[in-house]
Structure 1
Amino acid sequence: MSPAEAKTRIASLSSELKQHNYNYYVLAMPTIADFDFDKKLEELNALEKEFPEFLDPDSPTQKVGGDITKEFETVRHRWPMLSLGNTYNEQELLDFDQRIRKAIGDNFEYVCELKFDGLSMSLTYENGSLVRAVTRGDGIQGDDVTTNVRTINTVPKRLKHSGYPDQFEIRGEVFMHLKAFERLNNERLENGELQYANPRNFASGTIKMQDSAEVARRPLDCFMYFLYTEKLLFKTHWESLQAVKSWGFHTNENSRLCGTIEDVFKFITYWDKNRFGLSYDIDGIVIKVNSYAQQQELGFTAKSPRWAIAYKYKAEQVQTELLAVTYQVGRTGAVTPVANLKPVQLAGTTVKRATLHNADEIEKRLKLHEHDWVFVEKGGEIIPKIISVNLDKRDPSAKPIRYIAHCPVCGTALIRKEGEAASYCPNEEGCQPQIVGKMQHFISRKAMNIDGLGDETIETLYQNKFISHISDIYGLNAHSEELKKMGRFGEKSINNMLEGIEKSKTMPFEKVLFGLGIRYVGETVARKLAAHFKNIDNLAAASFDELITAEEIGERIALSILEYFSDEGHKAEIQKLKDYGLQFITVEKEVNLASEKLSGMSFIISGVFEKYSRDELKDIIEQNGGKILSSISAKLNYLVAGDNMGPAKLEKAQKLNIPIISDAELFKMIEII
């Protein structure tokens, strides 16, 4: 391939993959199979390596993360990140307009922008390249989160075209699209993890994670909306917005230039009605005086600019009748109460149900009674939530609602573990939603990704007694003739399904482990466990102390794993899957030895390191002939300790008189030995 052809192909693949990322993360409507996406990404990566002169820092191949941040450095803002004055009513906005007119006269314009419900961010660029990303913090100084922000697709690492100053800052908002939030939150629910209340909290929690590789796997976006430069480049804020867009920044297309306060009110009214059709949350409108010269003339108060104000929308709230409380059973056995409501219009949709979370929500916070009239709010929440009860409309004879004691499906007595809010049905082998849910999870895209086999098909196969365990899926090829007689499946669909099942046997161990559906073992945890323990037998035999030596494995996850493998039924199921040929061993990558300076020595790495991730340190040890062990024992030669190492690991190492060294001492060993 000639350089010209490579350049064209790289640009085409980059554009196509970015669109697929948008379809998947933002629209939640993927138009390409994961396998095909990965193949295109591999092709792009290979071309960029062969023709590095065409590598774009914004290429889809560059959004990988991987650095571990021990702690976030505090950085002082060159220009303070001030907050805006807020108002919730039109009169205060009219007062703001009158103050502007008294100070600078009537000849001015406003720029109206959507007020995003996200995390404020300041980016610094030097010679067209991103050098620093800092959170708002207290407005004077914030946290340096550059490594994490570099993983956001819409944040340019290198600017396009020309015309930008050698050094400048640009402010914006990091946020998460609603469908991406809903999908990720549902995954947390399925894995028995605590859900985030709204996209802002999810985005904020993500941007402060220590592992940038995990940040890269979470789809964040960023709108930029204000430019700071040493020398004034533009006369107006509106001009600067058009300029930064041409440099490659993601700006919001819904900003408007308004000539009068009446135009501002029209803009506010329009988005009050239409904001729920956006793919992201907004909680108001920001109004700014357009001219920079007039902004300077108006100046600042101690806390906010006098030339800008935020009009905040009130979270829409409606009152409706509680018809009944029903209960849903998830694949992990968690029983979630749901409020069934008299249908009512809220935030552009008809609301019939609202989440109630758990027993404490029903009995302690809301103190719900039968047929209460309740106030329901959407606001920043995706799922409508009951805010409070209208006690004035409560029937004096109404009985309190009590959380159920038995599973609504199978009748088994529910259990609630100490320290947990949720109640569970322990009858995982006889409770239909758990049985079906586990199989649906196993075939899902994030797990075994079985083509030709969907949730509805799993439900149908279960109802017709073809499958009742995960392993039964791999025995379906023996029932192909019986499946044809059902009438539900055509020969082609059956063949596609059986081909997809056969193909899934090549999925790596980490995918199989995630697919097993062990409580609290999500996709990331499964990957860490597979890398640490190498195979299912090591994991099944691991003690509590051995489990918590693995990266990101805490007490709750360790206890869940121990409980899972103590069940003989689970062991039997794994054996059947082994017999069918599934992968229960991590395929070791080939290690190219740089030296044999650590030959015959064994290591465990624990804690967080400033310059390297644990995986990078493991690679360095193995490349110099050393061996990584899975648990602390008398056979261990060295414990490489970083910050925040678990006290149990430290105590055990000291008890066994195992030398504890830093990463610096490890590098010294490699240099000197």
Structure 2
Amino acid sequence: MIPIADLTEDQAAVELARLAEEIASHDLRYHQQDDPAISDAEYDALKRRNLEIEARFPELVREDSPSLRVGAARAEQFSAVTHGVPMLSLDNAFADSEAVEFDARVRRFLRLPADETVAYTAEPKIDGLSASLRYENGVLVQAATRGDGRVGEDVTQNVRTIADIPKRLRGGGWPDLIEVRGEVYLDHEGFAALNAAAAAAGQKTYANPRNAAAGSLRQIDPRITAARPLRFFGYAWGALSAPFAETQWEALQKLKAWGFPTTPQSERVENAAGLLAAYERMEAVRPKLAYDIDGVVYKVDRLDWQQRLGFITRTPRWAIARKFPAQQARTILEAIDIQVGRTGAVTPVARLQPVTVGGVVVVNATLHNADEIARKDVRVGDTVILQRAGDVIPQIVSVVLEERPADAQPFAFPTHCPCPLHTPLAKETTASGAETVVRRCTGEFACPFQRLAHLRHFVSRRAFDIEGLGEKQLIAFSERGWIREPADIFRLARDEAKLEELRATDGYGETSVRNLVAGIEARRDIALDRFIYGLGIRHIGETTSLALARHFGTAEAFVATSKAASEQTAGPVFAELSDLDGLGPTAVEAVLAFARARQPMLIPPGISLEEHLRLAIPKLNSKARAALAARFGDWPTFEAAALQAAAETPGDAFLAVASVDAVGVVAARMIAAFFGEDHNRALVDNLLAELRVAPAERPKTDTAVAGKTIVFTGALEKMTRDEAKAQAEALGAKVSGSVSKKTDLVVAGPGAGSKLADAAKHGVQVISEADWLELVGS
């Protein structure tokens, strides 16, 4: 190897080309194939030589230089792209009845007459990787993956290598700015050729075309992507500078005219009957297609109706994915293992003789819980029918009893956790004391399985998304005793003694450690909703975390209220009443109001509890009365329970959490239970000491109704109640179901009742629906 000081310019150019190719090859083996061919030290030496040559010959820096790939060439280290319009997921349907209900929901929301024709597009659901392509003045300027729906990865150079994607739009009529959305995929022929070439080269093969497409698109080296036969179908759009169509069907024709392939099986249909017929046609043609599809996507055709229907958190109201039935196969159940999850829930897992289902080799399947094993009478050695639910999650459907071995024994579910502590397993109970099918390890963070699962959730993509800190590293650092709680991750980043020890560890090096520290430090600044989600509180998912963040605004406010709520939870009778199927919040409050008042009433003797309730608590509807009668049986039992529930009402802090939109009583109990544990309080306090949690994004403040509390009452004629609420909240207003002195505005339609009297009582302004639409500019 020629010393750098002795290189001529021509020699340097050749050396840089060799290094770029060799380093890209090692990146591929390490990050995509999990099969590194050299040590970290050898890899660092190659990178260092490349940098030093470039420093001496800056005019020779190549476009594919490893020095231009920030963060050591990982797919996750593509630069971030914030989507102009979020790339949202779709709700799923699996039966004809759900497709019919989708049509009914659309009609109810839009308040359409029964005989109104509703047109839909039915498009095959391509099993690939979603991508967004930004065109400015007809020229492709940027391409991004979906990512988390809000922020994706910049894959512009890779997308330019896909022949199906036009670099410049054809024809005319396109907006000056448009983000075209679609699916990058591999057809069956291309997938087979790619795997054959990989096998011949001794490289890792892919399990299915979708994984192959994803891995191919997210390559650091565009030349690798170019060598793979990726295809593309266009079907949607994001940000626009101007509208370009009035219907989804027209939009698909425009995309095709501009040079994008569109799915030839797409069709325009009408009403629920059309949805069902389209599904049957798509299911019949599925085996004959040259590419994988896993269902049909239904979309309301009229774009103005799509806009009115809007979205529910991360999913549109105007579209749904009708999935194909799960694919099935037979195999042998070789063992049943026990896994402990993040919240201590113990789940039995079936270890199977490998079998291919839908193109994927399956070796494990969930058995859900002890009751499920007993119900299906699943035994080790059984021949079982396996299916992938929604073509994704493997599960055992049934046992082939006639093939059961003579010595097969019923499975004895363990009574203790498989962790070294052997902590007893406890059946989970609801707040009212009823047992559930879930069994939990009671060891919490003392249980190494739970601790690791908590940490894995904490660093996951939807939570803190810490680059370079995956399960392998978490296990290693936990075994060393370096990480026992989330705050330890951030302490590690500034513990020079531990970092120095890490540098001397086989498999690490200066580059690896530097990247790890950078990934950790990048997350000291975190959004409030990610912080809440990262805590791993049961029943607190992304949507709930976002609702909590927007409501409380700051981490300090959320934590303080949650700690207070932990000391103000409801008693078991109140909890049971709140959980009773058939009782909504209004009915529960009516029962509590009755119990607090305890006014004597003349009730005829010998009547049923339902009739007694009708006379004593007029606000209860028939469903609530039936539920209470079924649970309590007679008046004295009900009355005693109501009095006890009134005495067990939770405190203001608990109610403040439970009243947050999209949270509710159940999730509030989980938050209170989490913050009721001393070790969890300490965990949160320690974590906050290491972080800078950004306040939540505030609602709009520049509209005529921003910050105001609105009440809608009566029969609205131009839009449905749900539509009105969604419109008001999108403009920064808060929508309430009752009128109080804090109400700013009441929008009243025909038939408005007691809320008008409440508005007069509190001096609240009342306007008509027409006035409202004029106020908000609709």
TM-score (norm 2): 0.45
Q: CA deviation at 1:581?
A: 3.6
**Equivalent pair of 2:467/2:519 in contact (CA under 8 Å):** yes
Matches of 1:64 and 1:615, distance apart in 2 = 23
SS at match of 1:252: coil
Q: CA deviation at 1:571?
A: 1.5
Q: CA deviation at 1:661?
A: 8.1
Q: Deviations over 1:528-576 (max 9, x none)?
A: 1111012234332353322232121122212111111212222212222
Matches of 1:545 and 1:639, distance apart in 2 = 23
Of the candidates 732, 739, 742, which is equivalent to residue 637 of structure 1? 742
Of the candidates 726, 730, 751, which is equivalent to residue 613 of structure 1? 726
Pair member with larger Rg: 2
- What residue is the counterpart of 2:336 in the other structure? 325
- What residue is the counterpart of 1:417 in the other structure? 429
- What residue is the counterpart of 1:520 in the other structure? 539
1:610 maps to a residue whose letter is E
Matches of 2:406 and 2:537, distance apart in 1 = 46
**Equivalent pair of 1:322/1:371 in contact (CA under 8 Å):** yes
Matches of 1:520 and 1:512, distance apart in 2 = 15
Q: Deviations over 1:122-162 (max 9, x none)?
A: xxxxxxxxxxxxxxxxxxxxxxxxxxxxxxxx9xxxx9847
- What residue is the counterpart of 2:659 in the other structure? 549
SS at match of 1:493: helix
- What residue is the counterpart of 2:689 in the other structure? 579
Of the candidates 669, 676, 679, which is equivalent to residue 559 of structure 1? 669
SS at match of 2:488: helix
Q: Which runs of 4+ in 1 moved over 6 A?
A: 79-83, 174-178, 221-224, 241-244, 268-271, 312-315, 604-608, 631-634, 639-643, 657-663, 665-671
SS at match of 1:327: strand
Q: 1:273 to 1:437 in 2, by over 3 A?
A: farther
Of the candidates 337, 347, 365, which is equivalent to residue 354 of structure 1? 365
Q: CA deviation at 1:508?
A: 2.0
User: Is residue 414 of structure 2 the alignment partner of residue 404 of structure 1?
Assistant: yes
2:461 maps to a residue whose letter is R
SS at match of 2:445: coil
- What residue is the counterpart of 2:355 in the other structure? 344
2:257 maps to a residue whose letter is S
Matches of 2:770 and 2:254, distance apart in 1 = 50
SS at match of 1:436: helix
- What residue is the counterpart of 2:109 in the other structure? 71
Matches of 2:469 and 2:449, distance apart in 1 = 18
Matches of 1:504 and 1:485, distance apart in 2 = 23
User: Is residue 533 of structure 2 the alignment partner of residue 428 of structure 1?
Assistant: no
User: Is residue 274 of structure 2 the alignment partner of residue 251 of structure 1?
Assistant: no
- What residue is the counterpart of 1:534 in the other structure? 553
- What residue is the counterpart of 1:37 in the other structure? 80
Moved more, 321-330 or 403-412: 403-412
Matches of 2:397 and 2:295, distance apart in 1 = 20
- What residue is the counterpart of 2:588 in the other structure? none
User: Is residue 518 of structure 2 the alignment partner of residue 499 of structure 1?
Assistant: yes
Q: 1:519 to 1:34 in 2, by over 3 A?
A: farther
Q: CA deviation at 1:279?
A: 5.2
SS at match of 2:463: coil
Identity among equivalent positions (%) equals: 27
Q: CA deviation at 1:320?
A: 2.5
Q: CA deviation at 1:471?
A: 0.9
Matches of 1:176 and 1:663, distance apart in 2 = 50
Matches of 2:395 and 2:476, distance apart in 1 = 33
Q: CA deviation at 1:585?
A: 4.1
Q: 1:532 to 1:360 in 2, by over 3 A?
A: same
List alignment gaps of at least 5 residues for structure 1: 1-26, 42-59, 84-113, 119-153, 165-173, 179-198, 200-220, 225-240, 256-267, 284-311, 622-627, 644-649
Question: 1:567-606 alignment to 2 at 5 Å?
Answer: 567-583=677-693, 585-586=695-696, 591=701, 603=709
2:742 maps to a residue whose letter is N
**Equivalent pair of 2:708/2:745 in contact (CA under 8 Å):** no
SS at match of 2:524: helix
Q: CA deviation at 1:473?
A: 1.2
| Number of residues of Structure 1 aligned to a counterpart in Structure 2 | 434
Q: 1:447 to 1:343 in 2, by over 3 A?
A: closer
Q: CA deviation at 1:507?
A: 1.5
SS at match of 1:386: strand
Q: 1:485 to 1:390 in 2, by over 3 A?
A: same
**Equivalent pair of 2:747/2:769 in contact (CA under 8 Å):** no
**Equivalent pair of 1:436/1:459 in contact (CA under 8 Å):** yes
**Equivalent pair of 1:272/1:313 in contact (CA under 8 Å):** no
- What residue is the counterpart of 1:370 in the other structure? 380
Q: CA deviation at 1:515?
A: 1.3
SS at match of 1:338: strand
SS at match of 1:71: helix
Matches of 1:660 and 1:564, distance apart in 2 = 40
2:293 maps to a residue whose letter is Y
Q: Deviations over 1:217-274 (max 9, x none)?
A: xxxx9869xxxxxxxxxxxxxxxx999733677633799xxxxxxxxxxxx9997499
SS at match of 1:414: strand
User: Is residue 293 of structure 2 the alignment partner of residue 280 of structure 1?
Assistant: yes
**Equivalent pair of 1:327/1:408 in contact (CA under 8 Å):** yes
Matches of 1:666 and 1:561, distance apart in 2 = 42
- What residue is the counterpart of 1:297 in the other structure? none
Q: 1:273 to 1:498 in 2, by over 3 A?
A: same
**Equivalent pair of 1:438/1:517 in contact (CA under 8 Å):** yes
1:406 maps to a residue whose letter is H
**Equivalent pair of 1:333/1:425 in contact (CA under 8 Å):** yes
- What residue is the counterpart of 2:495 in the other structure? 479
Q: 1:501 to 1:589 in 2, by over 3 A?
A: farther
Matches of 2:289 and 2:389, distance apart in 1 = 14
- What residue is the counterpart of 1:453 in the other structure? 469
1:533 maps to a residue whose letter is F
List alignment gaps of at least 5 residues for structure 2: 1-31, 33-72, 90-104, 128-163, 175-181, 187-209, 211-232, 237-251, 267-282, 297-322, 566-652, 714-720, 749-753
**Equivalent pair of 1:376/1:385 in contact (CA under 8 Å):** yes
Matches of 2:185 and 2:370, distance apart in 1 = 30
Q: CA deviation at 1:405?
A: 3.2
**Equivalent pair of 2:745/2:765 in contact (CA under 8 Å):** yes
**Equivalent pair of 1:343/1:351 in contact (CA under 8 Å):** yes
Q: CA deviation at 1:466?
A: 0.7
SS at match of 2:464: coil
CA RMSD in angstroms comes to 5.8
2:80 maps to a residue whose letter is F
**Equivalent pair of 2:747/2:768 in contact (CA under 8 Å):** no
**Equivalent pair of 2:427/2:436 in contact (CA under 8 Å):** no
